[in-house]
Amino acid sequence: MLELIELTKRYGDVVALDGLSMAVGPGRIHGFVGRNGAGKTTTMRIILGLASPEAGEVRWQGRPVTAADRRGFGYMPEERGLYPRMTAIDQIVYFARLSGMGRVEATAAGSAILESIGLGERSGEPVERLSLGNQQRCQLAAALVTSPELLVLDEPFSGLDPVGVDALAGVMKAQVDQGTAVVYSSHQLDLVERLSDEVTIIDAGRVVASGAVAAVRRSRGVDQLKVALEGGWTAWAQNLPGARVVGQDGDEVVLELLDGADDQAVLDAARQAGRVRSFRREAPSLTELFREVVSS
């Protein structure tokens, strides 16, 4: 268990973190989101010991984190730290040895991890010859080579195509299945909603929402109705008593119920307008929640 307790950090007059607390459990994927400058990277640097808080504490397994603990953490920074002319395998071995592994052990572990993420056949190539997606896989391999109990990933999906996103997500899930705790930041909130067990949203260095993804989605705002009629007609929902149109999702009209309104009345109105192809009620998406909590 990783615990961050009331972390505070300033850079001059800028408050980067203002009493931030969160926890990441073993075998869980924890999404960490916020606007640019909200304090995500600062938090991750403090976890890794690359920055020091002015107040607060980082705890690991119920006690203050140590340098020895941190050597066992895996870290993928937002600014990639690869040596472009070094081969992929030499790169991974180098980082493994920095963590204290012997050369033979590091070589074996590096070869295995590159094979597992689909770079086995290209392990002898210089990193600069790899695509952006494969360079990110190589960076992830450097974070995984020590079999970390905690994996910290700063914007790992940035610049990846959908195939690369799926491959990286698969690696994250495989690590979680082995009991690794994963905390990662991303601006792709639909992806965070799909991948994460828990999420923490921060704004101006403060936590504004945190918990299981489904619980966080239901913690604020009101449920929405999404209704589609055959033919994609949506004008029927305008000026509907008891509900207001808040948007459109494909050919579905998105409505919010007003206080005391009955969703069945909306369904009846839709049936009178035409043949109902879909009718569902759901909590606001993580993206919609994010817009609400960081602008309030």
220-295 matches 2-212 in CATH topology: no
* Chain centroid, CA 227 distance in Å: 30
- Tens place of pLDDT per residue across the chain (296 aa): 899 999 999 999 899 999 999 999 999 999 999 999 899 999 999 999 999 999 999 999 999 999 989 988 999 988 777 899 999 999 999 989 988 889 999 999 999 989 888 888 899 999 999 988 888 888 889 998 988 999 999 998 887 888 878 888 888 898 899 999 999 999 999 899 999 999 999 999 999 999 998 888 777 667 788 999 988 878 888 888 888 888 888 888 988 888 778 889 999 999 999 999 999 887 777 887 888 788 65
Structural domain boundaries of the chain? 2-212, 220-295
Q: How far apart are CA 15 and CA 51, in angstroms?
A: 14
Q: What is the per-residue pLDDT for 295?
A: 66
* Chain centroid, CA 266 distance in Å: 35
Q: Closest Cα partner for 47 from 74, 19, 12?
A: 74
Q: Closest Cα partner for 205 from 78, 63, 73, 55?
A: 55
Q: What is the per-residue pLDDT for 197?
A: 94
Q: What is the per-residue pLDDT for 296?
A: 55
User: Would you tell me the crossing angle of helices 103-116 and 132-144 to the nearest 10 degrees?
Assistant: 130
CATH topology of domain 2-212: Rossmann fold (3.40.50)
Q: What is the per-residue pLDDT for 233?
A: 78
Residue type, 253: V
Q: What is the per-residue pLDDT for 24?
A: 95
Q: What is the per-residue pLDDT for 25?
A: 93
Q: What is the per-residue pLDDT for 242?
A: 85
Q: What is the per-residue pLDDT for 221?
A: 62
Q: Would you state the structure tokens that stand for residue 33, as one six-digit string?
A: 């989101």
CATH topology of domain 220-295: Alpha-Beta Plaits (3.30.70)
Q: What share of the chain is helix, strand, coil (3-state, %, to 5)?
A: 40, 30, 30
